[in-house]
Structures are given as structure tokens and as C-alpha cells.
Chains A and B, each alone.
Chain A
Amino acid sequence: MNVIVDIISSAGLWAAILRIATPLIFGTLGALLCERAGVLNLGIEGIMTFGAMIGWLAVYHGADLWTGLFVAALAGMVFGFLHAAMTVTLGLSQHVSGLGVTLFASSFSYYVFRLIVPVAGTPPTIVPFQPISIPGLSTVPFVGPAFFTQTAPTYLAILIALLLAYVVFRTPLGLAIRMTGENPHAAEAQGVDPIRIRYGAVIVGSALMGMGGAFLTLSAFNSFFPTMVQGRGWICIALVVFASWRPGRALFGALLFAFFDAFQLRLQTVVQGIPYQIFLMTPYVLSILALAVMARRARVPQALMQSYRRGER
């Protein structure tokens, strides 16, 4: 019991939570935006991998760190466009198209990486984002080192979550997006173009996913390796359901998952005699449990996974 209290009361744990949560926040917000418009984007895993690769590559070739993040967002947009073209214009199965994008993007990022970076014993590194201490707040004991000495993309992720919550629930654009996800026919009748909204949502959402991937190489680590996303994309898809399609709750869900993850990492080193796989399983088991608790109240966008064809009932 003492061990658990020790872990929870260390500032290092809370700092790690924000660090682990950042890519999840980006990814979850991206997936959430797509699903609010009625498109399930299972391409997230591949888009994050590609974002991680291309952002890192840009910085490795001398670009600014922020340019790297921007390039990753652009690459995400390209894949988002691909997914939107297949699911919105052609009306193909969103699962199949999304998984296809994932397979393509993750293999393609490895291909590009191998093509440009020669094989070496240790992977080449870059100088990642450094933690920024917010003046004043960062000197507060415990809270300061835990929450106010993070890297810039972490603050950006939280800002984007708040911004997205505002846009989705408080602006006409957000209303149009939600309407497209609920009933594209009614949206069309109100003069909203569901096809354009869906395209826009998928492209912007995929840009966020790309940025989430880029955080991994530009801030969390300093080099790229092909398996680095490690299923974070799928976690994000689960978090969207957990968050009942609300950006604020998505932020909370990502932090909660990161808490489980950071906690089990520290528990692993303290508790002996239990196979380490048990600890690695806990975040997933707890996510499923959390889903079972949350799913009752979740209201799925009604037109999610339904392709929209003009003039067809």
C-alpha cells in the first residue's frame, strides 16, 4: 500500500502522465473529429507512424522543430484525403479503407525511412523539443514540476482540445459537423454540404493524428523506429468511445489512460515476482472496463459508418 502512495505522490509520475497522454490527446481528437462527421478513421495507426517518420525526417534534414510538426500535419492531411476519397466519394467500407490506409502508411513510412536514412547500428537522433517552464507556475512545489514543465506540443495538445470543444459545440461549423454525423440528409436539406464537411473533418482530423505521431519523435524520443506507435492509434479509437464523442472527455480519457500506463511502469520496477506482462495488460483491461462503464451513456453519431450518397434514401 505504501508503495502505491509513494508512486502517486511523486511529481515524476504526474509529469510522465502528461507526456504519455499528449500523442493520445492528438490522436483521440483527430479520430473524434472524423467520427463526429460520420467517418470512422481506422487509418490512425498508420497516419501516426507516418507523421512520426516524416516529422523526424524533416528535422533530421535541418528543418525547424515546428516545421517538422507542420510537415507531419500536412502528411496526415494527404492520408486523410485518401481515406475521405475512398469512403466519402466512393462510399467504400470505412473499416476496410481505414485498415488499408494503416497498412499502407506504416509500410510506406518504413520504406521512406530506409530509403533516405542508411542502415546504421544506432539510429540517428535529433535534438527534440525541450521542456518549457512556465514562469511563476513552475516554481510551485509538486504542481510546478508535474504540470508546468512540459514540452511545447503538450501545451498545444491541451489548447487544441479546448479549441475543438468550443468549435464542435459552440459554432455553426461545429453544428454542421455534428449534423453531418447524425443525419447527412437533414444536413443537406439545411444547405450544408455533407460531402465537403466530411472531407474537411477527415482531413483536419488526420492532420491532428499526424501531429500526435510527430510528438513521439520530436518530443518524447529523438529517433524514429518503425514500431514506435505501438497500437496508440487503436487506443485513441477506444478513447473516442470512452469520451462519448466529446473533446473535453477525450482529454480526460487520455489522461486517465496515461495515468494507468505511467503507474504500471513504476509499479513494475517496485513489485517483484509477478510477470511483467500482467502490468502491461492493465491499461488495456482497464480501458475495456472503463468502456463498459461509459458506453451506456454514450450517444453514437447516428450516421457513423454510413456512406452518404446524394439523392439516395
Chain B
Amino acid sequence: MRLERREHRPVYLLVGSPIAAVVSALLLAGILIAIAGAPVLEAYRRILIGAFGSRLSATETLTRATPLILTGLAAATAFRARLWNIGAEGQFYVGAIAVAACGSNMLAGLPGPILIPALLLIGAVAGMVLILIPLWLRLRFSVDEVVTSLLINFIAVLFVSMLINGVLKDPMAFGWPQSQSVVDHAMLPKLVARSRLHIGLLIAIVLAVIIHFLQIPADEDGLWHAVTRCWPQSAGCSVCRRAADADPGQGCLPFRGACGTCRRNRGPRRQGLRHLRHHGSVSWLRLFRNRRRDARQPEPARRRARGTVHGNHVRRCRRHEPQPRHTNLHR
């Protein structure tokens, strides 16, 4: 048996496969429910009623989906850049505690319309600060970000636990470890009266749409056009073009090729900031992957990947030239 990547995914698969996944998960879970000796259909009926059966449960389901949507988006954006941010949990906790700290007493005097955006921003910045640690370690010491972001989760959760048991502890909570409540006028406005559903859901959906359109198209041609449109200077670099050609099927790779091997980026390694200026802010996430790739590859392999050697000079590859096979083995 041999599996090959599809050139194009037909629409029925695009729509059908998530549905098929959910259905098969339900079937498998049904087997487990049956083994446990409970009526399967009745169990699913109750789950449905519990989630959507009444006005209260439906709004509650959406309320609880909101943080999941946002955290999922956070992971998706980083993963798209092939930056494996496993630290979502820690960032989530730190964002929550930062907002609780500022919203309960520090900034509580501000009026709602200013306070709410300020608190959202504070939560975002707190999460960002936490991921900056793994990123800094990645850049400075080339430590794998999967591991550090994972370990920082534990530290963040313990840190939050320390705060709500210590400085931020609510004296009115009868010894229960919890922070003081965020003031009422800082709470997000409700979408539906007499429920907990708030405009956070709309914020999450809007962000999802924005991120969807911000992301570079996944197929290769679209990506190539996007790269040349955003950074015309890299279009002049034949190496980038070659990189775009050499990677069929892998949406992200031409992008990597385009900013990793571009002419302007040659020279000493530690040019993070210069690189940033050159390629614009979108590419800053890509930066980490490129640098690691460069660090990983031994020098001759890198040089070889840039073009074929003829005599004493390196000939730049043209776009539609067949590539000798060995140059691609080292990718």
C-alpha cells in the first residue's frame, strides 16, 4: 500500500471529513458507553439536551466555547508558522490572573468603555510576555520551544496558585483560594439577558475571521504570489524562486525559502532585527524556524542548497530548471 498526498482536495472531502471524524468519534464513544452498560442513544440524547436543550444550557455552551475558540486560534497561528507553542495553558492562566489583578483594584476606577479594552490588552500582553521566554531561549540558546513552552505551563500554573493564595487572595472567600472579583463595570457586556453569554463570543468569531484572511493561502501558487506581492525584493532573488519551486505540496516551505535564504539575510548570523526590517513584521514568526534550520544544517549543505557549483562560481538556479537530485536530499 502506498499513500500519496492529494494535489487538490475536492470540496466534498473538505466538508465531509470533519463531519465523518465527529460521527466516527461518536460511534467509538458509543461502543464505550455500551460497554459501561448504559443505553447509547439515551446517553447522546441527554448530552444534546444538556448542551442545547434550554436557553440556559445553549448560552452556557457558547460561553464556555469562547475561551476555547480563542486558545485554539492562538495555537493555530503559531502552528501555522511552524512554531510549536504548547504553552497555551500557561498563557491562558497568566492572562486570566493579570486581568483579575488589574480589574479588581489597580485599574478599577476607570470607566467601563476604557477599562474593558485595556483589560483585554493586558490579558494579551501577559500571554505574550510568557511566550517571549521560550522565544528568547530559542533565539539566544536554540532551546527547543516545544519543551520550554511546555515546562513554563507548570511554572505559570504554580505562579497563579501562589498569587491567589497570597497577595491577590480574596479576604471575603472564607479561605478559598481565589482572587478578588473583577469590578462589575469591567465585565464584558452580555449578549443575551439573564445568561452568562457575553460579547467575548463575537470577539472570538471576528478574530477567527480576521486570522483566516490574514493567513497566506495554503496552496503553492497562491503562496508564491503572496510572497512576491508582499516582498518584491525577494522576487528578484532567484534562490527564493527556486525554493518556491522545489517544495511541491508543502504550503509553508516556499515561505521559509523566501526569507531564509534571501540575499539580504546573508552575513553574520545574529541579525535578527535587520532581518525583521527587511521582511516586514509578518515574517517574524518564520524567523525562528529559519534560524534553527540554518543552525542545524552544516555549512557545506547550506551552500549547496543555494545553487549548483560549476567550476569556481556558484550558478544561481533558474525557475524551471531540473534540479540535480542530491541537492534536495539535504532539505
CB-based contact B141/A313 at 8 Å: no
Over the window 290-331 of chain B, the binary record of Cβ atoms lying under 8 Å from chain A Cβ atoms (1 yes, 0 no) is: 000000100000000000000000000000000001001101
Say if the beta carbon of B207 comes within 8 Å of chain A.
no
Residue of A nearest to B298 (CB): A302
A115 / chain B contacts, CB cutoff of 8 Å: 35-36
- Assembled-state Cα–Cα distance A167/B116 (Å): 60
B86 / chain A contacts, CB cutoff of 8 Å: 95
CB-based contact A313/B154 at 8 Å: no
- Assembled-state Cα–Cα distance A278/B143 (Å): 24
Say if the beta carbon of A168 comes within 8 Å of chain B.
no
Which of A183, A275, A287, A293 meets B165, CB within 8 Å? A275
B2 / chain A contacts, CB cutoff of 8 Å: 310-311
CB-based contact B3/A90 at 8 Å: yes
CB-based contact A281/B158 at 8 Å: yes
Q: How many residues of B are counted as interface, with CB atoms below 8 angstroms from the partner's CB atoms?
A: 35
CB-based contact A313/B328 at 8 Å: yes
CB-based contact B36/A91 at 8 Å: no
CB-based contact A277/B150 at 8 Å: no
Say if the beta carbon of B283 comes within 8 Å of chain A.
no
- Assembled-state Cα–Cα distance A293/B154 (Å): 20
Q: How far is the CB of B47 from chain A (nearest CB, A)?
A: 16
CB-based contact B146/A285 at 8 Å: no
Within 8 A of A (CB), among B143-188: 143-144, 146-148, 150-152, 154-155, 158-159, 161-162, 165-166
B32 / chain A contacts, CB cutoff of 8 Å: 111
A278 / chain B contacts, CB cutoff of 8 Å: 162
Say if the beta carbon of A237 comes within 8 Å of chain B.
yes
B2, B140, B151, B328, most chain A CB atoms within 10 A? B151
Q: How far is the CB of B163 from chain A (nearest CB, A)?
A: 9
- Assembled-state Cα–Cα distance A234/B154 (Å): 10
Say if the beta carbon of B284 comes within 8 Å of chain A.
no
CB-based contact B150/A238 at 8 Å: yes
CB-based contact A281/B296 at 8 Å: no
The DSSP consensus for interface residues of chain B is helix
Residue of A nearest to B2 (CB): A310
CB-based contact A288/B325 at 8 Å: no
A186 / chain B contacts, CB cutoff of 8 Å: 329
Residue of A nearest to B327 (CB): A313
Query: Number of contact residues on A: which range applies?
Result: 35 or more
- Assembled-state Cα–Cα distance A313/B329 (Å): 7
CB-based contact A295/B166 at 8 Å: no
Which of B146, B155, B159, B329 meets A237, CB within 8 Å? B146
Which of A95, A185, A287 meets B151, CB within 8 Å? A287
CB-based contact A292/B137 at 8 Å: yes
CB-based contact B155/A281 at 8 Å: yes
Residue of B nearest to A185 (CB): B329
Q: How far is the CB of B170 from chain A (nearest CB, A)?
A: 17
- Assembled-state Cα–Cα distance A185/B325 (Å): 12
Within 8 A of A (CB), among B111-163: 137, 140-144, 146-148, 150-152, 154-155, 158-159, 161-162
Subset of 23 A-B contacts with CB under 8 Å: A91-B3, A95-B146, A115-B36, A186-B329, A234-B151, A235-B151, A237-B150, A238-B150, A277-B159, A278-B162, A281-B155, A284-B151, A284-B154, A288-B151, A291-B137, A291-B147, A292-B140, A293-B141, A295-B137, A295-B141, A309-B3, A309-B5, A310-B2
New A-B contacts (6) at CB < 8 Å, excluding given A111-B32, A280-B158, A288-B137: A275-B166, A277-B162, A292-B140, A295-B142, A295-B144, A309-B4
**Residues of B in contact with A (beta carbons under 8 Å apart):** 2-5, 32, 35-36, 79, 84, 86, 137, 140-144, 146-148, 150-152, 154-155, 158-159, 161-162, 165-166, 296, 325, 328-329, 331
**Residues of A in contact with B (beta carbons under 8 Å apart):** 40, 89-91, 95, 111, 115, 183, 185-186, 231, 234-235, 237-238, 241, 275, 277-278, 280-281, 284-285, 287-288, 291-293, 295-296, 300, 302, 309-313
